[in-house]
């Protein structure tokens, strides 16, 4: 099945979603609803942080409303005041209506009414289904990525298939996914703490101000590196492997890591961020990085 969702299906679903959040007691202010920029995908940009559990509950409510088959009707008013007088629960964005003379109100049965000029479907059943795909919090607001119609059904089936595959491989029931994830997350945090402790000890006990590690990912050294340079403001340290390089210096250290980074970039061995007090990025030629770092360390005693 090839998933498709029209802007009308997406935008009508966005109306129901906003009202569902309000019905759950969430005071929302939708800054922007983008339902025509990306095929099959819609975006809601809502001021403030909305808890994920509320968004999940609203998603379920949207699908209940869709199944009720409510008609979508329209009313036209000369002003927002006239619209509010007839529809006390009207949703509207005051900023967008500041310079608008005529107001079109979209009514979804008795469930929702909102001032809007976008295209909509004729009945909620035309939406078929609604699925939240992602929730993020850029700059303190809530960004909800969602889909509708066949595209939503396809995403939900794909998600279930992925969860079922993992549950089967790990021999646990889907209903215990939350519990299983919480246990795994706790175990992961404990392992990360242990790894950070080992990384810090390795940096502190190193006889040279640099270290080559064979780990696939050296991000575990990021926080220990910062802690080391804070506790040792007169020193610097560089850690790298075949893929990445991280380097930092303390506030009282005279070593110019930016100069080292510039030389590595010029040699074609490294690509990344270069600053006087820190360098980080991707290793392109590990042999040249080793040579450059060793030379820099030797020149600084």
- Average pLDDT, stretch 150-163? 93
Domain that holds residue 13: 7-170
Regarding whether 43 and 160 lie in a shared domain, the answer is yes
pLDDT at 1 over 50: no
Instruction: Give a yes or no: residue 175 inside a domain.
Output: no
Regarding whether 152 and 190 lie in a shared domain, the answer is no
Task: Report the CATH number at residue 88.
Answer: 3.30.980.10
Q: How many domains does the chain have?
A: 2
Mean pLDDT of the chain, nearest integer: 91
pLDDT at 66 over 50: yes
Q: Are 76 and 96 in contact (CB under 8 A)?
A: no
pLDDT at 95 over 70: no
Residue 155 vs residues 63, 132, 145, 293: alpha-carbon distances, Å? 15, 9, 12, 48
Model pLDDT, residue 300: 62
Q: What percent of the chain has pLDDT over 70?
A: 95
- Average pLDDT, stretch 6-11? 96
Strands (E), the chain: 30-38, 41-46, 72-77, 103-108, 112-115, 130-136, 142-148, 210-212, 236-240, 244-249, 270-275, 278-283
Model confidence pLDDT, tens digit, residues 14-24: 999 999 999 99
Model pLDDT, residue 181: 85
Model pLDDT, residue 97: 59
Q: Are 118 and 7 in contact (CB under 8 A)?
A: yes
Instruction: Give a yes or no: residue 179 inside a domain.
Output: no
Q: Is 83 helix (H, G, I), strand (E, B) or coil?
A: helix
Regarding whether 210 and 157 lie in a shared domain, the answer is no
pLDDT at 64 over 50: yes
Regarding whether 199 and 59 lie in a shared domain, the answer is no
Regarding whether 80 and 127 lie in a shared domain, the answer is yes
34: how many CB neighbours lie within 10 A of its CB?
17
Regarding whether 19 and 145 lie in a shared domain, the answer is yes
Q: Is 41 helix (H, G, I), strand (E, B) or coil?
A: strand
For strands 278-283 and 270-275, give the pairing: antiparallel
- Average pLDDT, stretch 26-45? 90
- Average pLDDT, stretch 24-31? 89
Regarding whether 248 and 120 lie in a shared domain, the answer is no
Confidence of residue 32 (pLDDT cuts 50, 70, 90): confident
Regarding whether 192 and 286 lie in a shared domain, the answer is yes
Q: Hunting for tokens 């070593």 — which residue is that?
A: 255
Task: Report the CATH number at residue 289.
Answer: 3.10.310.30
Model confidence pLDDT, tens digit, residues 241-296: 999 999 999 999 999 999 999 999 999 999 999 999 999 999 999 999 989 898 88
What whole-number distance in Å separates Cα of residue 30 and Cα of residue 118?
A: 15
Q: Are 114 and 106 in contact (CB under 8 A)?
A: yes
Tokens of 293: 């770092």
What backbone torsions phi and psi does residue 287 show, to the nearest 5 degrees?
-60, -40
- Computed from CA positions of residues 279, 282, 284, 288, in that sequence, does the dihedral angle turn out positive or negative? positive
With a CB cutoff of 8 Å and minimum separation 6, the contacts of 60 are none
CA angle centred on 223, ends 219 and 225, rounded to 5°: 95
Regarding whether 227 and 279 lie in a shared domain, the answer is yes
- Average pLDDT, stretch 81-99? 79
- Average pLDDT, stretch 100-124? 92
Regarding whether 194 and 152 lie in a shared domain, the answer is no
Confidence of residue 172 (pLDDT cuts 50, 70, 90): confident
């Amino acid at each position: 099945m090839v998933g498709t969702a029209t802007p009308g299906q997406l935008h009508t679903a966005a109306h129901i979603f906003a009202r569902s959040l309000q019905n759950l007691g969430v005071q929302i202010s939708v800054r922007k609803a983008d339902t025509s920029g990306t095929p099959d995908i819609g975006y809601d940009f809502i001021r403030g942080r909305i808890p994920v559990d509320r968004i999940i509950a609203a998603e379920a409510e949207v699908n209940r409303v869709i199944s009720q088959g409510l008609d979508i009707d329209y009313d036209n008013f000369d002003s927002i005041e006239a619209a509010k007088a007839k529809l006390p629960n009207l949703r509207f964005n005051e900023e967008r209506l500041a310079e608008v003379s005529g107001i079109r109100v979209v009514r979804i049965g008795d469930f929702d009414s909102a001032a809007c000029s976008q295209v909509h479907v004729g009945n909620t059943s035309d939406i078929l289904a609604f699925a939240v795909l992602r929730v993020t919090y850029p700059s303190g607001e809530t960004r909800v990525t969602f889909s509708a119609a066949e595209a939503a059904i396809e995403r939900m089936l794909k998600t279930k298939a992925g969860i079922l595959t993992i549950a089967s491989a790990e021999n646990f029931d889907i209903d215990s996914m939350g519990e299983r994830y919480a246990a795994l997350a706790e175990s992961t945090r404990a392992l990360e703490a242990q790894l950070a402790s080992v990384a810090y000890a390795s940096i502190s006990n190193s006889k040279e101000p640099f270290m080559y590690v064979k780990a696939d990912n050296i991000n575990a050294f990021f926080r220990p590196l910062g802690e080391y340079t804070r506790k040792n403001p007169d020193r610097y340290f560089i850690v790298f492997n075949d893929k990445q390089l991280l380097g930092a210096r303390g506030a009282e250290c005279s070593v110019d890591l930016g100069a080292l980074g510039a030389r590595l970039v010029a040699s074609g061995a490294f690509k990344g961020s270069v600053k006087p007090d820190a360098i980080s990025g991707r290793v392109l030629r590990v042999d040249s990085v080793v040579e450059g770092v060793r030379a820099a360390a030797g020149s600084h005693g």
